[in-house]
Structure 1
Amino acid sequence: MFVRIVKMSFNPLKVDEFLANFEAKKRLIREFEGCEFLELYRDKHHTNVFFTYSYWDSEEYLENYRQSDLFKSVWAKTKPLFNDKPEAWSVDKLVSLE
């Protein structure tokens, strides 16, 4: 399992549109085969900047999602709302304390 972190910066006037789309699609993303966890975070000081954290069983599952009609539909609505290029990282979780 690995973690995918995506940083997205939106036009401040488009934040509500992004949030509405995320709300509509979050359950489908989370239930996509291989996705074990999904969270959305908002920067405390730059309220138009968001991060998604998702846990995937393998890179193959993430790639299957990225090639899916679901991702293409989400991305088609999300991409025009950006005011900066998104950034993404695939990382392995080494330690988790609860």
Structure 2
Amino acid sequence: MFVRIVKMSFEPSKIEVFLENFNEKKENIRNFKGCRFLELYRDKQQDNIFFTYSYWETEADLENYRHSTLFKDVWSKTKPLFNAKPEAWSVDKITSLE
């Protein structure tokens, strides 16, 4: 399993559109084959910057999602809202303390 982190910066006037779309699709994303966890974060200093944080079973699962109709639908509605290029990282969790 690995963690996928995506940083997204939006035009301030388009944040509500993004949040509406995310809230509409979040259960479908979370229940996509291989996705084990999904969270959305908002930066405390720059409230137009958001991060998604998700756990994926395998890289193939993430790639299947990225080539799915669901992703194409989500991305087609999200991409026009950006004011900067999104950034993404796939990382392995080394330690977790609760």
Q: How large is the Cα RMSD of the aligned pairs? A: 0.2
Please give the residue correspondences for 1:44-55 in structure 2 after superposition, counting only pairs within 5 Å: 44-55=44-55
Paired position in structure 2 for 1:24: 24
Distance in 1 separating the partners of 2:31 and 2:38: 9
Paired position in structure 2 for 1:33: 33
Structure 2: 5+ residue stretches without partners? none
Offset of 1:7 from its aligned partner?
0.1
Q: Deviations over 1:26-75 (max 9, x none)?
A: 00000000000000000001000000000000000000000000000000
Distance in 1 separating the partners of 2:45 and 2:77: 25
> In the alignment, residue 60 of structure 2 is paired with which amino acid?
E
Structure 1 position 62 matched with structure 2 position 62: yes
**TM-score after normalising by structure 2:** 1.00
**TM-score after normalising by structure 1:** 1.00
Paired position in structure 1 for 2:95: 95
User: How many residues are aligned here?
Assistant: 98
Paired position in structure 2 for 1:14: 14
Paired position in structure 2 for 1:3: 3
Offset of 1:13 from its aligned partner?
0.2
Please give the residue correspondences for 1:74-93 in structure 2 after superposition, counting only pairs within 5 Å: 74-93=74-93
Tell me the secondary structure at the aligned position of residue 93 of structure 1. Answer: coil
Structure 1: 5+ residue stretches without partners? none
> In the alignment, residue 86 of structure 2 is paired with which amino acid?
P
Give the fraction of aligned pairs with identical amino acids, expressed as a percent.
71
Q: Which stretches of structure 1, 4 residues or more, deviate above 2 A after TM superposition?
A: none
Tell me the secondary structure at the aligned position of residue 38 of structure 1. Answer: strand
